[in-house]
Structure 1
Amino acid sequence: MSRVKSGKVTHARHRKVIKQAKGYYAARSTNFRTATQAVDKANQYATRDRKAKKRSFRSLWIQRINAAVRLFDPAFTYSRLIDGLAKAGIEVDRKVLADLAVHEPDAFNAIAGKAREALAA
C-alpha cells in the first residue's frame, strides 16, 4: 500500500479553528494548539451563557414589573400582581408585562387595576 498524506485535510481543519479564533490575543489566534483550547473554552462559555441569558432577562422583567406596580400603588407588589392576574384569568407573560410597563404605562395600569379587583373579590 502506498503512503497517504493528509496535508490538505489537516490544513483545512487547522484553518477552520484558526478562523474561529480570529480576534483572539497573541498565540490564541495563530497557534493551532492554543487556538483549539481557546475556541473550545469559548464554545463552553457560549453554551452556558445561552441558558444564563434567559434567566437574567426574566429577572430584569420581574424587576421592571415590580417597579411599575409600586408606582401604580406603593402597597401593591409584584407577587400580588401575579396572583391577581391568575385569579382574573389574564394570561400575559412577564416579557410583555415588562414591555407594557416601560412603553405603555396606561395599559399596564389598566391590567394592574384588573388584577387588584380580582384580589379584592
Structure 2
Amino acid sequence: MPRVRRGAARRQAKKRILKSVSGHRGPAGRQIRLAKEAATRAEVNAKTDRRRRKREFRGLWVVRLNAACRARGVRYSEFVHGCKKANIELNRKMLSEIAIADPEGFDKIAEAVKAALA
C-alpha cells in the first residue's frame, strides 16, 4: 500500500483549529496539541452554558416578579398560584417585563390575582 502524504489537508486542519482558538492565552492559542484540547473544552463549555443561560434568565425573572409582588402585598408563590386560578396564562418573562415597563398594568394583574385568591 502506498504511503499517503497529507500536506494540504493537515495544514488546513491545523489552521482551522488555530483559528478557532485565536484569542486564547499562552500556548493554548499557538501550539496545535494544546489548541486541540482548548477547542474541545470551549465547545463543551459553550454547549453547557447555552443551557445554563436559560436557567439564569428564569431565576432573574422570578427575582423581579417577587420584588414586584411583594411591593403589592403578595408573595411570589401566592402570585403564581393566583395567576393559575385567575386563568392568567402569561409566562414569567412577560410578567416581569410588564412589572418593569407597565406598573399600572401589573397592578391590575395583581388585583385580579388577589381576587382569585380570596
User: What TM-score, normalized by structure 1, do the two folds share?
Assistant: 0.93
Aligned equivalents of 2:39 and 2:98: distance in 1? 40
Please name the residue that 1:69 is paired with.
Answer: 69
Please name the residue that 1:42 is paired with.
Answer: 42
Q: State the percentage of identical aligned residues.
A: 36
Which secondary structure state, in structure 2, belongs to the residue aligned with residue 58 of structure 1?
Answer: helix
Please name the residue that 1:109 is paired with.
Answer: 107
Unpaired segments ≥5 residues, structure 2 = none
User: 4+ residue runs of structure 1 moved beyond 6 angstroms?
Assistant: none
**Deviations 1:52-110 (CA, angstroms, capped at 9, x unpaired):** 1111110110000000011112xx10010111110011100000011111111111111
What amino acid is the match of 1:119?
A: L
Please name the residue that 1:93 is paired with.
Answer: 91
1:4: Cα distance to partner?
Answer: 2.4
Please name the residue that 2:7 is paired with.
Answer: 7
Query: How many residues get paired?
Result: 118
Give yes or no for the alignment of 1:22 onto 2:22: yes
Aligned equivalents of 2:48 and 2:3: distance in 1? 43
Aligned equivalents of 2:3 and 2:79: distance in 1? 74
Aligned equivalents of 2:40 and 2:4: distance in 1? 29
User: What TM-score, normalized by structure 2, do the two folds share?
Assistant: 0.95
Unpaired segments ≥5 residues, structure 1 = none
Which secondary structure state, in structure 2, belongs to the residue aligned with residue 83 of structure 1?
Answer: helix
Coordinate RMSD, CA, aligned? 1.0
1:2: Cα distance to partner?
Answer: 4.1
Aligned equivalents of 2:37 and 2:2: distance in 1? 34
